[in-house]
Each structure stands twice: as C-alpha cells, then as structure tokens.
Amino acid sequence: MELTPRLALAAELCRGCRSVIDVGCDHAYLCLTLAERGAERAYASDIRPGPLAAARAHIRACGMEDRVQAVLCPGLEAFGPEDADTIVICGMGGEMIASILEKAPWTREGRHRLVLQPMTCGDRLRKWLREAGYAIEQEVLAREGRRLYTLLQARGNGAGDSCGGENFYLFTQKLTEDPLFPSFVGQQREKYQKARAGKALAGLDTSYEDAVLRRLEEFCHGA
C-alpha cells in the first residue's frame, strides 16, 4: 500500500511496534501498512462515521479484520494503557493533539511511543509537551509538494528536548539535523515576515515576530 510521504515517515517512526492506535485514521492506510509490516494489533480510530466506514471497507478488502479494528470514538477515550505500545496522532492542529493527550494521562507514564504530526501550532504542541513532562526523542520533516510537515516522536516521563525559549518552540534541536531543515527555516521566515507585516500595518506590537526572525536569521547564517 503506497503511503503519502508524510504517512510513510510516520510509519518509519512506528518501526517495530507490536500494537498501535491511530487517532484520526482516515482510511486506515497507516494501520494496514503497520499490520503488513508485523504489528500484531492496530486500532484505526476516528470521530467521524464516514471516514471510519471507508476504513472498515479497506480493512475488509485487505483481509485484515483479525489484526486491524476500526473504532468510533473521540481521541483516546475508548482506549487504555494496555491497548497499544504506540500511539499515532497525525493531521490535526497542535492544540488538538495536546488536548487529546491531556485527556489520556496514562500516556505520560513513559510506556508508550507517541508519533505526532501537527498541521498547525507546532510551537504550542512542543511547549505543552515539554511542560507536561514528555520528552521529544526525535523530530523529522516530510515534504509533500511545496509543503513541509514536522513529525515528532515523543514519550512521557521525560526531561524533554532543548526546544525551549531560545528557539521559541519552533523546532527542537533534533530537527536541525534534518536535511530539509534549511527549507523549513526559509518557510518559517516567510511566515513570520508576513505576520510581522500584517501587525505593523495594523499598528500592533511586532516585538515577538522581530525576535523570532532574528533567531531564524541566525540559523540561516549557520548558528
């Protein structure tokens, strides 16, 4: 089964999992791929009946009903700590991902690998993870067309990564090692330049954007 670059990288971060929960599974492609690669149990979870019906159809078509189960529920509400060793939450806003984890405090125990892919507010998700006691163990980039996606691998009961105020939670130190990092910095600069211009036009304070742009400029010049 061919995955998008984003989901293919998520699958790589799940390597070796025995049981997995994919929250917001859409069509269950990731769960089916992981089952094909050796996962003993995969739960394809979604809050929407339509995508879950499509997931069930794909599961049946692949003959994977014995290993992949579709579950209708919000977030992780139908699950407990014994259901999986790996939890995937991809394609949601960073604040939504944080909210799902906050409602499942057992994910902080350190027993579960978390694979997270925020579509927006990645900075807020990194900040929340650090303050809530999760360690960001890895961060990598996937490219789809012109867009870059960040994927985090995290675990509870950790000291966190050096992604604090000095980087404005825009990225972890791990991400600076990714070959796509220079492109990521360029896109972030463009984003914050537009934000600064909009604020300046409205007569608003731009000190935060100025500070972020100075930090990004440092990385552009080999910081």
170-213 pLDDT, tens digit per residue, is 999 889 999 999 999 999 999 999 999 999 999 999 999 999 99
- pLDDT at residue 148, rounded to an integer: 97
What DSSP string runs through 103-165?
A: T-GGGGSS-SEEEEEESS-HHHHHHHHHHHT-EEEEEEEEEETTEEEEEEEEESSS---S-SG
The residues facing 87 across adjacent strands are: 21, 114
Q: How does pLDDT run across 20-74, given as a tens digit for each residue?
A: 999 999 789 999 999 999 999 999 999 999 989 999 999 999 999 999 999 999 9
Q: Higher model confidence: residue 173 or residue 115? A: 115
Q: Which of 135, 142, 102, 101 is nearest to 119 (CA)?
A: 142
Task: Round to whole Å and give the CA distance between 81 and 16.
Answer: 18
Radius of gyration of the chain (CA): 18
The pTM (predicted TM-score) of the whole model is 0.94
- pLDDT at residue 103, rounded to an integer: 97
Of all helices (H) and strands (E), which one includes residue 97? Answer: helix 94-102
Mean pLDDT, range 88-112, rounded to an integer: 97
Q: Answer for the pair 64, 55: CB distance below 8 angstroms, yes or no.
A: no
Mean pLDDT, range 104-120, rounded to an integer: 96
Token pair 């990645």: residue: 122
